Amino acid sequence: MPKYLAAIPLCCFAVAVAGPLARAENPPASSPVPQGAHDILHQLDDAFVSLFEKVAPSVVIIEADKKPTGNDQDQSFDYYFHSPEGGENSHPPVPEPSVRSEGSGFIVRPDGYIYTNFHVIEDSDHIQVKLRDRRRFTARLVGADERTDIAVLKIEASNLPTVTLLDSDAIRVGQVCFAIGIPYNLDYSFCRGIVSAKGRGNLTSTSTKPMYEDYIQTDAFINPGNSGGPLFDVDGRVMGMNTLINGVGRGLAFAIPANMLNTVGSELIATGKVSHPWLGIEVSTLDEDAPIAGRFRGIESGVCVDTIEANAPAYKSDLRPYDVVTKVDGVSVLTAHDLQHEILRKKVGQSVDLSVWRAGKSFDIAIVTDELPADLTKFADNHTKAKTIYYEMYGLDLAPPQSGSQGQPATNKPAGGVTVNTVLSDTPASRAGVQSGDIITAVDEKPVADAVSCLQLLGSSGSHPHTILSLLRHGQKSRAILETGTGNKP
């Protein structure tokens, strides 16, 4: 489909008409608009005007200055990412150098507390807030949370007009919505659209830190400068905070939902910081087309545990990679987003019951949440290690063969295979006599290249009562027979 519609001259619609109709000199006049319809238009017109006048006094303009670094860009070109498509609008315009960020915000308490986006005020050393009545205030930063892109400002004023936040879980796709902001420095611009979708995520993959994403999608005409401004309903209640757009003029805008704003904003006002609950796992939506789909025969939906961070809360529990989480505290989770959404509702230190499916059996695992570390870099080595070796299947912790392992001398180690780091007690592997340091070279006579291929082969053998492992131990070939029909104990 072409990107732009071709302009069609009006003369293309002129048609030569023969016969009696062609001889009509005076075509009939257009029918007048019925009075009832005219009244409805007036009512709709008045409703839009009243809605703007109700919300606009609570919306503020934010000007955030920062010290020049020599390579700053005009931050009024808002925080939006490149379109995945090519073409004219695939990259944002390159602005002239500047040191001012301009965005929007809205007042949530009459004593001067304001919600906006973190990226609007990031790295700023001076923040000015301008109200609808043209008054200006110097604002101080109360607190900010980079992972949700929410910040709270405070100005010294009283009896200010405020917005009302609604329950964003009750928002329906198709609802009419509105926005007020300063696109391209055009103060208090008002636009209308509909809610296109809810629960959008994975939009900020270029972020250096993992983001908590649960966006409302809208086709309201949001542009750079709207960041931090309100998205609201026909009653003037705030649905969310406008935060992202996918290319200028595409009708793809995204807002942080009001419930997340309320939770994070209230904590920032109370303590100046936010503590996020953390299990320490990476998950993905169960996909029957995945390379190890055979591992999940018997389960149709859920969230697969891909990685467990070393020393994280989940690491200390019986949860294992390739477990499938189906519920959180009794609430069904079908996607990775569902799981994240439910965990974010919890408090730090709260016990969470996960309903887990493993090798045909279902059971519950309780995990006590911890606070998400401010700096995850200290987990980097363990994180890589967890991805590589902490696959617990049939009681095995696996790793690539290491030089000088007991399974094979360093001078004559196999090209493939996977090393057994640890054998869990009372599991098929321990009962079969597998030992730490053994090298698994084949599963049911099929060669093993690495941990991933070993897991694929073990998963595909899940329907058989026995699985034969070919092993190297102290340079000698051996084998072990896993009673796979019994499965792992939870």
Q: Which residues are catalytic?
A: 119, 149, 227
Q: Rounded to an integer, what distance in angstroms lies between the CA atom of residue 142 and that of residue 116?
A: 11
Rg of the chain, C-alpha, whole Å: 30
Q: Which is nearest to 122 in space by CA: 181, 207, 247, 245?
A: 207
Q: Rounded to an integer, what distance in angstroms lies between the CA atom of residue 67 and that of residue 457?
A: 57
Ranges of beta strands (E only) in 50-135 are 59-65, 100-109, 113-117, 126-130
Q: Rounded to an integer, what distance in angstroms lies between the CA atom of residue 168 and that of residue 257?
A: 6
Q: Rounded to an integer, what distance in angstroms lies between the CA atom of residue 299 and that of residue 360?
A: 8
Q: Which is nearest to 443 in space by CA: 464, 468, 473?
A: 468
Residues whose CB is less than 8 angstroms from the CB of residue 4 and which lie 6 or more positions away in sequence, other chains included: none
Q: Rounded to an integer, what distance in angstroms lies between the CA atom of residue 121 and that of residue 312?
A: 32
Bridge partner list, 366: 353
The distance from CA 265 to its chain's CA centroid, rounded to whole angstroms, is 19
Q: Rounded to an integer, what distance in angstroms lies between the CA atom of residue 417 and that of residue 396?
A: 14
Q: Rounded to an integer, what distance in angstroms lies between the CA atom of residue 199 and that of residue 215?
A: 5
Instruction: Please state, as a whole number, how many other Cβ atoms lie within 10 Å of the Cβ of residue 75.
Output: 26
Using CB atoms within 10 A of its CB, is residue 373 exposed (0-12), middle (13-18) or buried (19+)? middle
Q: Which is nearest to 234 in space by CA: 183, 286, 165, 176?
A: 176
- The three-state secondary structure class of 439 is strand
One-letter identity of residue 34: P
Using CB atoms within 10 A of its CB, is residue 463 exposed (0-12), middle (13-18) or buried (19+)? exposed
Using CB atoms within 10 A of its CB, is residue 376 exposed (0-12), middle (13-18) or buried (19+)? middle
Question: What does residue 104 show for φ and ψ, rounded to 5 degrees?
Answer: -120, 170
Bridge partner list, 283: 305
Token pair belonging to 113: 């507390």
Q: Which is nearest to 303 in space by CA: 281, 333, 329?
A: 333
Which of 90-98's residues contact partners 24+ apart within 8 Å by CB, and which partners?
A: 90/247, 92/224, 92/248, 97/71, 97/72, 97/73, 98/72, 98/73, 98/74
Determine contact, residues 121/153, Cβ cutoff 8 Å. Answer: yes
